[in-house]
Chain A
Amino acid sequence: MTKVYPKQSRPALNDVTLEVDKGEFVFLVGASGSGKSTFLRLVLKEEKASHGRVHVAGKDLGRLSSWKVPGLRRQIGTVFQDFRLLPNKTVTQNVAFALEVIGRPQAQIHKIIPEVLDLVGLADKAARLPGELSGGEQQRVAIARAFANRPIILLADEPTGNLDPTTSVGIMKLLDRINRTGTTVVMATHDSQIVDSMRRRVVELEGGELIRDQSRGVYGYSN
């Protein structure tokens, strides 16, 4: 697929062909501006491919009518570098919010939240506000929110970008555990240590081109 943003001559993604199987764990690496975020935005249908086709969870996004986009996004969990939590809501409320707005019944929400907070290891901090948590804990809340609706795909855009190495390891363990439940995880990252230690599939982009696709890869050839 190719994505050209309006008013820009150089494509953000240039004729990239990539297939990710169900249940895979893929690192998306490359410098800033290499097209990692554009790739994730195409998967979420926040952007439309200029050429080529994007298939996600069995759907051809080019043919997906706009009213079906929310349904697609319910199958995809998303985590960002900056957590994107609601500062005036507690941990529980932040997770509940994501379920409430897609119309899940209150009874289900009450059942899901303890489970998912337990999974991310924040069961004892359910009543805290994001401001009272460390960065790593905030990212765990964000992951809990992304995973609460049991998505089949989890997209993570530099989830450890704001965290120290020790905390990052904890987050990666959590993403690994989520991957083991059968969830496909696609993670864009700059963090060579993490990529090298995990030894998963690595897809490298440079200037919008796919330059490497390696199973059990490392961050860069030089390493």
Chain B
Amino acid sequence: MRLRFVFSELAIGLRKNVLMMFSVVIITAFSMLALGIALLVQRQVGHMKHYWYNQLQVSVYLCADHSENPNCPTAATEAQIADVQTSLNALRPTVKTIDFVDQARAYEYFKETFKDAPDLVKNTSPDALPESFAVKLADPTKFSVVSSALDGKPGVDSVQDQHVFLKKLFSILNTFRNVAIVTSITVIVAAVILIGVAVQVSASSRRRETGIMRLVGASNLYIQLPFLLEGVVGGFVGAVVGFGGLALFKLALVDHSLRSVFSAFGSLVEWNDVIYTLPFIVGAAVLISGLASFITLRMYLRD
């Protein structure tokens, strides 16, 4: 196998077919960008699950003054609080830890959570915040054990599970990911067709050469490899451009816009997550373009 020949033929093909290759690069870039976004969202969900399943807690809010809940005529009494504590203790080992959050600590959390809204913090006095038990579960999905034991108990205002809220968030993210996957597949189909056509155009524009090659006994590999590589180069460059687009997506959208909004929900995707998608993007693009070219050549350059 004389590589010099293959590469010089490849260079001729790319030069002759430059516009076609340009469109192959663009469409592959878009398909790989969509694939990269899908992968990033997947990573994001993974991060959040990891983060939240360690932090996830059930909050048992106790009655405070001025509560609107009919179960709370007055603030929870010492006896009621002790009673709740006993009930929670009885739920071990499903309940892993029990942490009493008094008004001072609740206020600290409140200040931390709403640090971007100083007016709200200023207008809220610690007295307005209910005391609560922060309960961590051995298995975060076993929320109902706690709520059924404590809902409606004297002194208990409400039992809130962050898991419910997370489920909604995850379902939004999953929808977003699925849209990215469907988009990616659609554009990949278009890319496959375009690569096939581009390779066919290139082979057809050099039919004279391939005809002579077949006649003098060049092997199929020799005849087809330059065209195959042409498709693969288009796919590879497209993948690199698409990855560039993904990096831009991370910089512009994730870092610039989403970080401030979503920082309360746990860590966002980082650069190592973006790098993680690179082998998938490049691998998928090379595989897809190689396969599209191979099949086209199989059908088109018969001996």
**Does B93 belong to the interface (CB within 8 Å)?**
no
Q: Contacts A84-B208, A97-B212, A98-B212 hold; do A74 and B5 have CB atoms under 8 A apart?
A: no
Contacts of B112 in A (CB 8 A): none
Encode A197-213 as 1/0 by CB contact (under 8 A) with B. Answer: 00000000000000000
Residue B244 lies at the interface, judged by CB distance under 8 Å to chain A = no
Q: How large is the interface on A (under 10, 10 to 19, 20 to 34, 35 or more residues)?
A: 20 to 34
Give, as a whole number of angstroms, the nearest-CB distance from B294 to chain A: 16
Q: Determine the distance from Cα of A70 to Cα of B223 in the docked complex, in whole angstroms.
A: 11
A25 to B220, CA, bound (A): 31
Residue A101 lies at the interface, judged by CB distance under 8 Å to chain B? yes
> Within the complex, which residue of A71, A74, A84 is in contact with B211, where a contact is CB–CB below 8 Å?
A84
Interface membership of B15, Cβ < 8 A: no
Structural contact, A102 and B211, CB atoms closer than 8 A: no
Q: Is the CB of A69 within 8 A of B303?
A: yes
Interface residues of A in 172-187 (CB under 8 A from B): none
Interface residues on B, range: 10 to 19
Whether B218 and A102, one on each chain, are in contact in the complex, defined by CB atoms closer than 8 angstroms, is yes
- Nearest Cβ distance between residue B104 and chain A, in whole angstroms? 82
Cβ A103 vs Cβ B303 within 8 A: no
Q: How many angstroms between the C-alpha atoms of A103 and B223 in the bound complex?
A: 11
Determine if B214 is an interface residue (Cβ-Cβ < 8 Å): yes
Across-interface contacts of A78 in B (CB, < 8 A): 215-216
Please name the residue on chain A nearest to B209 by beta carbon.
Answer: A86
By a CB distance below 8 angstroms, the chain B residues around A86 are 208-209, 212
Instruction: Answer whether residue A90 sits at the interface, using C-beta atoms and an 8 A cutoff.
Output: no
B217–A84 CB distance below 8 A: no
Residue of B nearest to A155 (CB): B215
CB-CB under 8 A from B211, the residues of chain A are 84
Q: Contact at A101–B208, with CB atoms within 8 Å? A: no
Q: What 1/0 flags go to B210-246 for Cβ under 8 Å of A?
A: 0111111111101100000000000000000000000
B212–A100 contact, CB under 8 A?
Answer: no
Per-position binary interface string of chain A over residues 91-119, scored 1 when its CB falls under 8 Å from any chain B CB and 0 otherwise? 00000011011110100000000000000
Q: Are B2 and A73 in contact (CB-based, < 8 A)?
A: no
Please, which residues of chain B bring their CB within 8 A of the CB of A66? 303
Bound: A44/B303 CA distance, A: 11
Chain A residues with CB below 8 A from B303, complex form: 66, 69
Give Cα distance in the complex from A71 to B220, angstroms.
11
* A72 at interface, CB cutoff 8 A: yes
Of A72, A75, A100, A146, which contacts B5 at CB under 8 A? Answer: A100
Contact of A145 with B by CB under 8 A: yes
Interface pair A73/B220, CB less than 8 Å apart: no
Within the complex, the shortest CB–CB distance from A223 to chain B, in Å, comes to 33
B82: CB under 8 A from chain A? Answer: no
B117 within 8 A of A: no
Instruction: Evaluate contact between B217 and A73: CB separation under 8 angstroms.
Output: yes
In angstroms, how far is the closest chain B Cβ from the Cβ of A42? 14
Which residues in A have their C-beta under 8 angstroms from that of B213? 101
* B interface footprint on A59-78 (CB within 8 Å = 1, 0 otherwise): 00000001101111111101
What is the minimal beta-carbon distance from A17 to any residue of chain B, in angstroms? 26
Residues of A with C-beta under 8 A to B214: 70, 73
Q: State A102–B222 Cα separation when bound (angstroms).
A: 8
Q: Which of B211, B216, B220, B222 gathers most chain A CB within 10 Å?
A: B216
Q: How far apart are the CA atoms of A146 and B209 in the complex, in Å?
A: 14
Q: Chain A residue with minimal CB distance to B213? A: A101
Q: Which residues of A contact B220 (CB under 8 A)?
A: 67, 70
Q: Which residues of B contact A145 (CB under 8 A)?
A: 212, 216
Contact sample, A vs B, 28 pairs, CB 8 Å cutoff: A67-B220, A70-B217, A70-B218, A70-B219, A72-B217, A73-B216, A73-B217, A74-B216, A74-B217, A78-B215, A78-B216, A84-B212, A86-B212, A97-B212, A98-B212, A98-B216, A101-B5, A101-B212, A101-B223, A102-B216, A102-B217, A102-B219, A102-B222, A103-B1, A103-B222, A145-B216, A146-B216, A149-B216
For the complex of A and B, 6 pairs with smallest distance between CB atoms: A73-B217, A74-B217, A101-B218, A70-B217, A98-B216, A101-B213
B interface residues, Cβ below 8 angstroms from A: 1-2, 5, 208-209, 211-220, 222-223, 303
Known A70-B220, A75-B217; 19 more pairs at CB < 8 Å: A44-B215, A69-B303, A70-B214, A70-B217, A73-B215, A73-B216, A74-B216, A76-B217, A78-B215, A84-B211, A86-B208, A86-B209, A97-B209, A100-B2, A101-B212, A101-B218, A101-B222, A101-B223, A102-B218
Name A residues whose Cβ lies closer than 8 Å to a Cβ of B. Answer: 44, 66-67, 69-76, 78, 84, 86, 97-98, 100-103, 105, 145-146, 149
